[in-house]
């Protein structure tokens, strides 16, 4: 469950983004043309769906960041020699 967490966060962001966009637009259209007259709740629903879609981008970016940091850590661990510190140490003055 906790393997490849960054990838799973990215998939979650994509699914939620598309789901919120479709739900907002569909509900907005239904509410917008409910009585044949302009209904403000339909417009608000459409705008909210679009806004929630845009707000899924930072979640996707966070998943990408987690994935990249994990790859960096794995590369450092595989390149490290026994008894070698992967952290830079300042020389004594």
Q: What is the pLDDT of residues 26-72, one digit of tens each?
A: 988 888 776 667 778 888 888 999 999 999 999 999 999 999 998 89
Buried b (16+ CB within 10 A) or exposed e, 48-71: ebeebbeebeebbeebeebbeeee
Residue 11 pLDDT level (bands cut at 50, 70, 90)? very high
Q: Calculate mean pLDDT across residues 7-21.
A: 94
* Domain residue extents for the chain: 23-74
pLDDT at position 67: 93
Q: How would residue 81 be classed by pLDDT, with cut points 50, 70 and 90?
A: low
As a whole number of angstroms, the distance between CA 87 and CA 50 comes to 44
What pLDDT score does 28 carry?
86
CB 10 within 8 A of CB 60: yes
């Amino acid at each position: 469950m906790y393997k490849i967490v960054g990838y799973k966060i990215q998939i979650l962001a994509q699914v939620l983004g598309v789901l919120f966009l479709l739900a907002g637009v569909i509900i907005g259209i239904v509410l917008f043309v409910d009585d044949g007259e302009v209904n403000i709740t339909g417009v608000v629903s459409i705008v909210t769906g679009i806004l929630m879609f845009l707000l899924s981008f930072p979640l996707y970016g966070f998943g990408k960041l987690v994935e990249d940091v994990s790859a960096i850590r794995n590369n450092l661990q595989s390149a490290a020699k026994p008894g070698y510190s992967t952290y830079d140490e300042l020389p004594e003055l």
